[in-house]
Amino acid sequence: MTTDGPARKISTVMHVRCPERLGEETYRRVLEELSELSPVVQALPPSAALVELRGALRYHGTDTRRLGEVLRVRTLSRLGVDVRVGIGPSITVAATASAQVPAPGGVLAVHPDEVTAWLGALPVDALHGIGPRQAEALRAYGVHSVGLLAAVPPATVHRLLGGRAGRTAVDRAHGIDPRPVVPRGLPPTASVRHTFDRHALDGAAVRAALLDLVVRLGLLLRRRGQAPRALTLKLTFAGGGGWERTRRLPEVSAHDDDLRTVAYQLMDAAGLQRGRLTGLTLKGTDLVGADQVAQQISLDDAREARLVAEDAVDRVRDKFGPGVIGPAAVFRRAS
């Protein structure tokens, strides 16, 4: 590992973290700076990105750490944005490294020969791709570090986290991650809207309309095979005024339960009292493919039952139409 000397050229993946709450336009400009280093840039909105450096090293005739420092100089001087840069032989190592760089910015490069020792000393929840529930399950078993995770028999990890998630966790604890950096720009969004026939003052009616939007958005996302990292709620008031906020989901999800929780938090944050609403818009942003969402272990039997029921309800809607089944509050509002 090196934080101030040049990294050897064999490390080829760069993971870049921008400051949180970075505006979309500024984020786009950061991506443009990255594209000047390498043509292979994968956007990870709202504030991160991956860069494949293998070809860039030959083109620029320098080492990986130097490219990371060049990026920092350019984003600071041109955009006023400092970045945290992690560099390693795989996406997992690079992303784990960037998270270890203290704010506001810096460069941390990990050579392949150092991966095992460097990862091994980190707490298990510092490993990129390990979610809070997985980390909790591992710590409950006594696995507190990445080194211990790498040493535990794979069959045990599979039993703790589930087959697919367990295999992925074992591989990543050893720094193994075959995923390539795939060129990708900013992903699309998905949105649904409700317009009130009359100016809405009734809090229960507004909450029921929001629940309907949650159900519609969740169904749309699941049909498209996508899941959002964040939700945006926009309120439109009589007279043309508006209110809009975005909140990140704790975990990437297109499930109604998770979308509803964050949507309600956004509505509570609006602090409505007697505002006359004319419309609601709920938007899923920073979308990823459902096949890229890690399957987190769940210790909540009730939640697992709700997910099974959700799948059954989706099949009913696909066969008979979206309006034949749904939450009771939505049907009471419509009746």
Between 304 and 216, name the one with better pLDDT: 216
- Is residue 54 very low, low, confident or very high in pLDDT (cuts 50, 70, 90)? confident
Q: What local confidence, expressed as pLDDT, does residue 8 receive?
A: 41
Question: Is a pLDDT exceeding 50 seen at residue 270?
Answer: yes
Q: What local confidence, expressed as pLDDT, does residue 174 receive?
A: 93
- Give the residue carrying structure tokens 């009616």: 205
Could you give the percent of the chain with pLDDT greater than 90?
Answer: 45
Average pLDDT, the chain: 84
pLDDT tens-digit map of 28-52 = 889 989 988 888 999 988 889 999 9
Question: Is a pLDDT exceeding 70 seen at residue 216?
Answer: yes
Angle at 285 between CA 292 and CA 262, to 5 degrees: 95
Question: Is a pLDDT exceeding 60 seen at residue 4?
Answer: no
SS3 at position 73: helix
Mean pLDDT of the region 305-319: 74
pTM value? 0.58
- Is residue 312 very low, low, confident or very high in pLDDT (cuts 50, 70, 90)? confident
pLDDT tens-digit map of 68-111 = 999 999 999 999 999 999 999 999 999 999 999 999 999 999 99
Residue 281, beta-bridge partner list: 193, 234
Q: What local confidence, expressed as pLDDT, does residue 123 receive?
A: 96
Q: What local confidence, expressed as pLDDT, does residue 9 receive?
A: 41
SS3 at position 86: strand
Question: Is a pLDDT exceeding 70 seen at residue 165?
Answer: yes
Mean pLDDT of the region 133-155: 92
CB-based contact 274:174 (threshold 8 Å): no
CA distance 239 to 230: 28
The CA–CA distances, whole Å, from 28 to 23, 25, 43 equal 9, 5, 9
CA distance 266 to 211: 12
Between 317 and 134, name the one with better pLDDT: 134
Q: What local confidence, expressed as pLDDT, does residue 119 receive?
A: 96
CA neighbor of 128 nearest in space, from 178, 68, 169: 169
